[in-house]
Amino acid sequence: DLELKNKGYYYFKPDYILTKADTTAGGHQVDLYVVAKHEEIPEQAYYVYRINDVYVFPNFRLDAERADTTKSKAEFYKGFYVVDRRKTFRPLVFEQAMQFQPGEVYNRTEQNLSLNRLVSLGTFKFVKNRFEAIHDPDYPMLNVYYYLTPYPKKSLRFEIGVASQNDSRMGTQSSISWRNRNAFRGAELLTVSLRGGYEAQAGGNVQRPPAFEGGAEVSLSIPRFLIPFVKVIPSSMFIPRTTILAGYDITLRQQAYMIHSIRSSYGYVWKEDLRKEHRLFPFNVNYVKTDTLLTGLEPRFNFSNLLFNGLIIGPTYEYTFNGQAAGIKLDNYYFNGLIDLSNNILGLVQGASPDKPKTIFNTQYAQYIKLQADGRYYRNFGVHKNDMWASRLIVGFGYPYGNSGQLPNIKQFFAGGASSLRGFRSRLVGPGVFDPTSIAAETGSLQFIETLGDVKLEINTEFRKHIYQFLNGAVFLDAGNIWTYYDDPRFPGGTFTKNFYKQLAVDAGVGLRLDFQIILLRLDLAFPIRKPWLSNRDQWVFDQINPADKKWRQDNLIFNIAIGYPF
């Protein structure tokens, strides 16, 4: 049927075909004969139809007593008519979606491609399609009509959330965003967003200063490739997008530091199919400035590893494969890969080095190559959709060179936390065999606020099981660590070596997941079972597990509350 539809037989149906079986062939074989039911096939089903006119109605209202479908003020544009009396959309918007051209043979594949691209514009809530036949035996034709009902042009969204960790840290975060789905009459999505959050700690063994994070961002998503001097014609079912954004972020640690980050990007997002997405941003500029807040004060924390001042300039490329997007199967796979480069050519030309750093616009710039891969496997079993075995592997590698002795802090990796190693404190695992908590206690040195690295390896696996209605359970195991690429005297034992696999931190735990459909609340309780900073014989700590001991619970049990699955 599809093959005939693709050859112009618009009125042909599968019911017009009959398969007859001849079982007299012998030898346990059957001869099959495919025949047409000529006595049931109407005359128009024998005709090859061609496209006559194509009409697009971009402001079709479903709730109107009488829809405005008059064609008297239609505007002709590159083979199709746009009926838009209010001039809400420029005809350019529909160029990539309209596959039919007057005079060409009707094709079902092109019909589906047009509908999918109109939906992927993200501007229209409903997309309808209708054909009107011109029954001329000598030249059968079809008029094509697209009725598009747009979303409300402007919308406002507000979100608020609360998070808690068992080291007495509690925080809240909120955001507000304004969206315009047709900013410049080209189905552009203009988004203006503000966000802010505050985190404080009332007690606990590892004290951290209160933190405030905020930011603002303006982004414009244009539904086509905008490449100078080049016109790219997409071939997939989805409309490609050009994204332009600018943002400002601020991070304030009380009596410690304040980080300002000004960033801008220009790039492209497109899909091969439902499962594969590409994000290429050839232009990224990020200016980072860190101010210390210790004027006249004695430092209480060590945040020397979090200070960076300079420019990050370079391209990024990201590829995502999500097998579940095409429907959940028995075995499901997910992969995300990232390539992030900064000032590779400029640094080579200027001959930059950490001892003699070079500048651009009187500002030092970072140089690095960063690679990251996130692979996941989901194995479904049982009768419930939440019965599954889920596993994740994260590998991250950063190579700082030239101007940089390490990756910029906003580009480095961390380990520990509600979606990482759940049996360890957030962002305080490693690097390597370095333990920031015990070192500070033993030597009297300042406690690190968080530790970061240039290399990362993390493995997570968990067994998920549906319990009752909205209640689900999980048993999990996490392993991983971070490392620095070069030796850093602040982190003895933290350098990446060939013995990295002997330095993995491991934890285990159980969890409850409350699935309310619109939101999933996750409660995880975990504890370490391998501490890599201990001596080789003492790293596995199974013999120390004692839930009845208050001191052990205080030092080891980590309770996390989070929204959504960890992976």
Mean pLDDT across 528-550 = 93
For the domain spanning 300-563, the CATH number is 2.40.160
Mean pLDDT across 272-297 = 88
pLDDT at 342 over 90: yes
In Å, what is the CA distance from 328 to each residue of 155, 220, 276, 378?
Answer: 32, 33, 15, 10
Burial class (CB in 10 A: 0-12, 13-18, 19+), 243: middle
d(CA 167, CA 176): 29
Kind and range of the H or E element at 133?
Answer: strand 124-134
pLDDT at 202 over 60: no
Does residue 431 have a cis peptide bond before it, meaning omega lies within 30 degrees of 0? yes
Confidence of residue 201 (pLDDT cuts 50, 70, 90): low
Amino acid 64: pLDDT: 60
CATH 3.10.20.310 for domain 2-150, yes or no, is: yes
Sequence-distant (6+) residues with CB within 8 A of 130 are 144, 145, 147
pLDDT at 387 over 80: yes
Which tens digit of pLDDT belongs to each residue from 426-448? Answer: 889 999 999 887 766 666 667 88
**Cβ atoms of 317 and 336 closer than 8 Å:** no
Q: Secondary structure of 72-131 in the HEC alphabet?
A: CCCEEECCEEECCCCCCCCHHHHCCCCCCCCCCECCHHHHHHHHHHHHHCCCEEEEEEEE
Which tens digit of pLDDT belongs to each residue from 516-535? Answer: 988 899 999 999 999 999 98
**Cβ atoms of 160 and 174 closer than 8 Å:** yes
Instruction: Look up residue 14 and give its DSSP letter.
Output: G
pLDDT at 73 over 90: no
d(CA 404, CA 394): 24
Report the share of the chain in percent with pLDDT over 90.
Answer: 66
Mean pLDDT across 219-227 = 95
**Cβ atoms of 185 and 166 closer than 8 Å:** no
* CA neighbor of 316 nearest in space, from 344, 352, 290: 344
Give me the residue label for tokens 């494969």.
321
Could you tell me the residue ranges of all domains in the chain? 2-150, 152-272, 300-563
**Cβ atoms of 407 and 370 closer than 8 Å:** yes
Most trustworthy range by pLDDT among 14-28, 227-241, 324-338? 324-338
Which tens digit of pLDDT belongs to each residue from 395-415? Answer: 999 999 988 999 999 999 999
DSSP, collapsed to helix, strand or coil, labels residue 485 as: coil
Confidence of residue 163 (pLDDT cuts 50, 70, 90): low
Q: What is the mean pLDDT of the chain?
A: 90
Mean pLDDT across 142-169 = 83
Matching fold, domains 2-150 and 300-563 = no
Question: Which residue would you say has higher pLDDT here, 288 or 302?
Answer: 288
Question: Which residue would you say has higher pLDDT here, 562 or 486?
Answer: 486
d(CA 22, CA 161): 68
